[in-house]
Structure 1
Amino acid sequence: MVAAEDSKAQGRSGGRPDSRRGAAPRRKLLMSEIVDQAMRIFAERGYDGTTLQDVADAVGLSRPNLYNYVKSKEDLLVAMVEATTESAANALREVRQRTDLDSADKLRMLVRALVLRRAEQPAQFRTLDRSDQALPPEIAKKHLQGRRAVLREITGVIEEGITAGRFRPVDARVTALSIIGMCNWVAWWFHPSPAHPAEPVAEQIAENAVAMVAREAGRTPDTPTPLGAVALLRQDLDYLTRLLTAEGEGEDLPPDDA
């Protein structure tokens, strides 16, 4: 167990953090285990019903050793927010800023990344979702900022696609909220297993998201310019002309039973 190994290492160094090479990765790994265990217990017993001793016992650390990593339950909530919202927003921002992808590819990657996060860290997300109203003010503010950042990144990609003529002129914010809800719900219903991995689910939801906004085949302008939009209007006018012509010709035809 990581905690046991870390405890032994601290024992050899008199309780001080190990300064040798590899100490930082081990600390990061143990911190991740602490957060994971805390989220599991929060989900089972609620935030108020969980103590730091419960977390220490679950990880295999003494309470004094746990204090080398977290000082309070609020520290664990901060770590949760950073892992579930802030890091997600940062990852999505990197995708949105890429210049080698078109809007559909960006949206596909954003949704896939968000679904995989929800599938891999369901307890963290569910705990924050359930505890949203009970979070301490500063942590609630941090959580809200992260959620707004996620919404902003997805909305930005949708707006980019609309401007480029790749997506239909939908309400970008409403659509982004719908897509985020679809991704978030994965944390509640999906249970990964070797026979049911998360990746195919993420791929399907990503394709569903793109299908929600994509223009039909042949309706995408060659260039995202006003002239490109005019070209689409001409296509519509040509199609309307054909319909009107066909209807006019049909009026001159004798009835089928004549």
Structure 2
Amino acid sequence: MGAIAVYGGRVTEDAERGGSGRGPRKQAAPRRKLLMSEILEQAMRLFAERGYEGTTLQDVADAVGLSRPNLYNYVRSKEELLVAMVEATSQEAADTLRAVRERVDLDPAEKLRTLVRTLVLQRAEHPAQFRTLDRSEQSLPVEIAERHLESRRAVLREITAVLDEGVTAGLFRPLDSRVTALSIIGMCNWVAWWFHPAPAHPADPVAEQIAANALAMVAQVDERRPSAPTPLGAVALLQQDLDYLARLLREED
């Protein structure tokens, strides 16, 4: 088997050489990692275009520039590609968000801004991963589907926890943190479908805008309690606080 080289993001295979009788030469870790990244990128593109069921390993091998036998040196099945995709998207996002939530140098508002920016940038920079998982959810093997679902739940838990922390600190309005977290995640996920990065349209300002939108959804406004509220206004504010307290009590039962 000839050496494998990477040129401009594509993989080419040297002519096969015989005679030694030895197995394929072991590649250096950086080169193998680069090739695996290319394989995963092409697989995600094909899954997004054709769906998981409509893509074969031969399609992936052709897209990368490898023979199918050589592809088996890196992945043995489409399921392995899906596992790698879930790890690179849902699980990585959950781990990153947990690290942000646990930071003691950020207040809840700063945490929420960082969480939203992180999710938006991940989706803007790797849209094919998120579109592929969204389209392929129904056809994922059971074990992979469970891992993906648990990672999604972990993302929801991290954002919900930050929202609850902000309410407790008086920075966020009393709200249904789960519904609000789902709304914020929906804003972030949709970026993978409509955002198309370009030199004149970078992702960072988009992430800043969506983070600002998320904060505006939940921010506690001092003016909401005027010095002389109307009777009906005072009742509405009191009812809002009572509803939030009731939700907390139900969660503790």
TM normalised by structure 2 equals 0.81
Q: Secondary structure at the match of 1:173?
A: helix
Q: Which residue of 1 aligns with 2:221?
A: 216
Q: Which residue of 1 aligns with 2:160?
A: 155
1:4 to partner: Cα distance: 3.6
Q: Which residue of 2 aligns with 1:180?
A: 185
Q: Secondary structure at the match of 2:228?
A: helix
**Out of 20, 24, 35, which is 1:15 matched to?**
24
Q: Which residue of 2 aligns with 1:67?
A: 72
**Letter paired with 2:197:** P
Mark the runs of 5 or more structure 1 residues left unpaired by the alignment.
Answer: 220-235, 245-258
Q: Secondary structure at the match of 1:240?
A: coil
Q: Secondary structure at the match of 1:71?
A: coil
Residue 239 (structure 1) aligned with residue 227 (structure 2): yes
Structure 2 Cα separation of the partners of residues 114 and 48 of structure 1: 28
1:218 to partner: Cα distance: 7.0
Residue 141 (structure 1) aligned with residue 146 (structure 2): yes
Structure 2 Cα separation of the partners of residues 26 and 88 of structure 1: 25
**Letter paired with 1:48:** E
Deviations 1:107-153 (A, max 9, x none): 00000000011111111111110111111100100100010000011
Q: Which residue of 2 aligns with 1:85?
A: 90
Q: Which residue of 1 aligns with 2:176?
A: 171
1:103 to partner: Cα distance: 0.4
Mark the runs of 5 or more structure 2 residues left unpaired by the alignment.
Answer: 1-6, 232-253
Structure 1 Cα separation of the partners of residues 124 and 60 of structure 2: 23
Structure 2 Cα separation of the partners of residues 193 and 211 of structure 1: 27
Q: Secondary structure at the match of 2:105?
A: coil
Residue 110 (structure 1) aligned with residue 115 (structure 2): yes
**Letter paired with 1:85:** S
**Letter paired with 2:111:** K
Structure 2 Cα separation of the partners of residues 130 and 155 of structure 1: 25
**Letter paired with 2:24:** G
Q: Secondary structure at the match of 1:185?
A: helix
CA contact (8 A) 1:3 1:61 kept: no
1:212 to partner: Cα distance: 0.7
Residue 30 (structure 1) aligned with residue 39 (structure 2): no
Task: State the aligned residue count.
Answer: 220
**Out of 201, 206, 220, which is 1:196 matched to?**
201
Structure 1 Cα separation of the partners of residues 217 and 32 of structure 2: 43
Q: Secondary structure at the match of 2:197?
A: coil
Residue 49 (structure 1) aligned with residue 49 (structure 2): no
1:14 to partner: Cα distance: 4.6
Deviations 1:209-236 (A, max 9, x none): 01111111578xxxxxxxxxxxxxxxx4
Structure 2 Cα separation of the partners of residues 148 and 170 of structure 1: 19
Structure 1 Cα separation of the partners of residues 158 and 175 of structure 2: 16
**Letter paired with 2:78:** K
Identical-residue share of aligned pairs (%): 71
Q: Secondary structure at the match of 2:227?
A: helix
